[in-house]
Structure 1
Amino acid sequence: MKSLIVLISTFFIATISFSQQNDPAAKKVLDGVSAKFKTFKAVQAAFTLRQEDAKGGLLGTKKGTVSLKGSRYRVSIAGTGQEIFCDGTNIWTYDKSANEVTITKPDPSASTISMQKIFTSFYDKDFLYKLNGDKVVNKKTLQEIEMTPTDKNKPFHKVYVLVDKKSQTINSTRILDKSGNVMVYTINTMNGNANIPDNQFVFDKAKFPGVEVVDLR
């Protein structure tokens, strides 16, 4: 579970070598998503995480919420007792079962997909990408972008992003890791004009009596 919570927070994405540059049609779609996200004041979203094995078998599903405001974020996953706070300078990962919080610093070179990256222009530097075309899901027209990390040391080898063609927002992200497992994040609701006070992104020790603090900064 610890690896799951780290993947989500440091997040809400067979290796192929492309002989040509990135697909301009895919870049146009991704640029549209990035531009739309930048118009949001602050974001609150509810998501579902589906975990599958290499054969497509369901390993489990979890629901969660994420709040985003600039470089700050907060993630909660229902039923796990785990929550992540990030004020842009520090990251607090809280484990309710142990009543323990671990404090770390954001790592821009981390091998996982961060919450900010998944909504913004991370793709130009970190991935090769192409547009696979449109598909209709639940009466929505979605555009599928297939992405391959340029860094072969990443723990995942493929990411598929489905973009809502009408709203220019991400509908879901499917991440294939090198162990054969698959994680699918589906965004159920999104409010781009949420009113979120800055203190919501800071872990308040006073609200967690007896909490053990592990400071790894």
Structure 2
Amino acid sequence: MKRFYVLLALLSAFVFSVELPAQGADKRAERIVSTTVARLKRSPLKCDFSLVYYDGRNQTNEVQKGHFIMDAEKLRLTMSGIETIFDGKTQWVYMASNNEVTITEPTPEEMKDISPIVMIDYYTADHRIVMDAEASNDEYAVINFYPVDLSEAEYFRISLKVKKESELPVKLVIWQRNADTITFNWENIEPVKVDGDSFSFRQEEYPNVVVNDLR
């Protein structure tokens, strides 16, 4: 379960934050990614999703479903009884199974896995962007991201599929070096209104919750 949760944080952060590398970028791919990122950052969004982990060795699939809302670096994400709330500084992880919440203030390194803003630097420096001409068509554009240093990556390619008409992503696939794949499907993306409580943990709404404050 933890594996799915961390992967989801990485996947959602990737698309909402990715910027373009200074060198080696395909101009068509660069233009599409820039437009998509601008569209996603325009306003707070909510999204339903499915996350599919394919085990290449055993040829089996595991599927998880969930939803999140996001506003810049702030995130509220729910999947499989786990809820994470991040307000830009403090993170709450609530486990429904044991009615327990853990509170932390992530370090910059830890924030790389949960904050779209921190992820920008990582993908700016370490990926080359190329249009996949064979997979693209009149309706969809497919962009491939290749890590510059393969020795440091567990994957060799990330593919992002964008619907041209809406300028919104519909699928992201991580191709791992061990033959596994991780697929993130956006089933709905739409604007949402947020307020001061959208990205905070209201303890009174969780009767008898066990609090682990690790700040």
TM range (shorter): 0.7 to 0.9
Asked if the contact 2:56–2:179 (Cα under 8 Å) also holds between the matched residues in 1, the reply is yes
- Classify the secondary structure of the residue corresponding to 2:132: strand
| 1:54/1:113 CA distance change after superposition, 3 Å | farther
Q: Does 1:83 align with 2:86?
A: no
Asked if the contact 2:99–2:210 (Cα under 8 Å) also holds between the matched residues in 1, the reply is yes
* Structure 1 residues 38-57: aligned runs within 5 Å: 38-39=41-42, 41-54=43-56, 57=59
For structure 1, which segment, 199-208 or 146-155, has the greater mean C-alpha deviation from structure 2 after superposition?
146-155
Q: Does 1:203 align with 2:205?
A: no
The answer for the alignment partner of 1:21 in structure 2 is 24
The answer for the alignment partner of 1:17 in structure 2 is none
1:148 positional shift: 1.8
Aligned residue pair count: 204
Asked if the contact 1:34–1:121 (Cα under 8 Å) also holds between the matched residues in 2, the reply is no
The answer for the alignment partner of 1:59 in structure 2 is 61
Q: Find the aligned partners of 2:155 and 2:112 in 1 and give their Cα distance.
A: 8
- Letter of the aligned partner of 2:34 in structure 1? D
Q: Find the aligned partners of 1:150 and 1:107 in 2 and give their Cα distance.
A: 25
Residue by residue over 1:27-64, the C-alpha shift from the partner in whole angstroms, topping out at 9 and shown as x without a partner, is: 1111111122232x210111111111125834221211
Q: Which sections of structure 2, spanning at least 5 residues, go unmatched?
A: 15-22
1:93 positional shift: 1.4
**Identity score, percent:** 23
Q: Which sections of structure 1, spanning at least 5 residues, go unmatched?
A: 14-19
Normalising by structure 2, we get a TM-score of 0.80
- Classify the secondary structure of the residue corresponding to 1:199: coil
Normalized per residue, the structure richer in helix is 2
- Letter of the aligned partner of 1:26 in structure 2? A
Asked if the contact 1:89–1:105 (Cα under 8 Å) also holds between the matched residues in 2, the reply is yes
Q: Find the aligned partners of 1:135 and 1:56 in 2 and give their Cα distance.
A: 30
| 1:3/1:73 CA distance change after superposition, 3 Å | same
The answer for the alignment partner of 2:17 in structure 1 is none
Residue by residue over 1:74-102, the C-alpha shift from the partner in whole angstroms, topping out at 9 and shown as x without a partner, is: 1111xx21111111111111111122222
Q: Does 1:72 align with 2:74?
A: yes
1:24 positional shift: 1.6
The answer for the alignment partner of 2:165 in structure 1 is 166
Asked if the contact 1:37–1:120 (Cα under 8 Å) also holds between the matched residues in 2, the reply is no
1:214 positional shift: 2.7
Normalising by structure 1, we get a TM-score of 0.80
* Structure 1 residues 161-200: aligned runs within 5 Å: 161-192=160-191, 194-200=192-198
